[in-house]
Amino acid sequence: MKHKLLGLIFSSILILVPALLAAQVVTPAPPPLSARGYLLIDQQSGRVLASKAANERLEPASITKLMTAYAVFRALESGQMELSDQVLVSEKAWRTPGSRMFIEVGTRVSVELLLQGMIVQSGNDASVALAEYVASSEEIFADLMNQLAAELGMTETHYVNSTGLPAEDHYTSAADIAKLAQAIITEYPEYYRWYSQKEFSYNDIKQPNRNSLLWRDPSVDGLKTGYTEAAGYCLASSAVRDGMRLIAVVLGNRSEESRARESQTLLNYGFRFFETRLLYPAGGAVTEARVWKGSRELTELGVKDDFYVTVPKGSYDQLEAAVDVPARLMAPLDPSQQLGQIRVVLDEQALASADLYSLTDVEDGNFWQRSRDTVLLWFE
């Protein structure tokens, strides 16, 4: 059953409406890039707008610290720790090679400062200090990172350390990094602001954020760079323009300039040729359906979460929505039951879908209502 999408108001009458005649929207192919793997997605809808080897296992270098931060954010959210907690810096953390926050062994540093030192300065020493504080050792913390990766559906990811320093069996993919970035942005906006911080000072040493897009493009507000000789130059970036947020991931670039330029190219491509619309708000009615033997004959069906769709610019009015609901819904119903699905189609190609739920409880009907519907069903 299909109905035409008209602005943000949708018919609840499930009949076929002829598609409007419109000029075909032409969207150019994504620009070719030199990165070994990359991905461009819309944050809200999750639609992939450009990709190359997005599921290939590659070394992430310091982009690993996105998961280190996510694990710390989880610990903060659960009340296991506070931003003001003072972390004793171990010799291992102090001796960790690579980029540094310049914390000193035997001193105590707050979780908040360590997070900024890791996010802004990419401090490997800060990463290890946080890992040891959360899980008592970096090895146990890596197990926690892998558990969280599995929970987020990061199927091509395995962590060995909290820093991204080269290690056997330490890998991820552009697609998995994008999933992680989505989770950080959605779940922890209060901490995400640190990813747009251009510089940070600790121990009288000021260091700039290595994400040069923060200076080039005011719409960019994150996320994380990475570099090792084996991984090449990597960058996970995100930007917002006119309420539309995109996430770009490039892995294995040849230079710092190349990773910035190609990330900017991806973001510009997405913003130039696509738009994202809210089709159905969470808890809003999509349609209504007949309920048999219930305390009420009709119930409204809707989605649990805001339902967004990303389409080529100029094609929104050509969308069609197909609603699939069982012919017979029998009481009782409650809002936790998945009762159907809404699918959005453009040019006969499925773009997105969402499960439908009853927006209210429907209890068993009284004796008269059940008896009446039993008779009516005989003639159905």
- Which of 45, 51, 62, 237 is catalytic? The answer is 62
Catalytic site residue 62? Answer: yes
Determine the Cα angle at 121 with ends 50 and 271, to 5°.
Answer: 25
In one-letter notation, the amino acid at residue 317 is: D
Question: CA angle at residue 280 from 249 to 244, to 5 degrees?
Answer: 30
Question: Quick check: is 2 catalytic?
Answer: no
- Nearest Cα to 182, choosing from 308, 355, 75, 271? 308
Does 92 participate in catalysis according to the annotation?
no
Phi-psi region of 208 (alpha: psi -120 to 50; beta: other; left: phi over 0): beta
From the candidates 65, 179, 224, 293, which is the catalytic residue?
65
Choose, from 51, 90, 99, 122, the residue flagged as catalytic: 122
* E-assigned strand segments in the chain: 2-6, 9-10, 37-42, 48-52, 86-88, 108-110, 199-202, 205-208, 220-228, 232-241, 244-253, 274-280, 285-292, 298-302, 307-312, 320-324, 329-330, 338-346, 349-358
Please give the Cα distance from 8 to 6 (Å, whole number): 6
DSSP per position, 301-315: EE-SS-EEEEEETT-
Q: Which two tokens stand for residue 324?
A: 């699939």
Q: Is the separation of the CB atoms in 291 and 333 below 8 Å? A: yes
Q: Which residues are catalytic?
A: 62, 65, 122
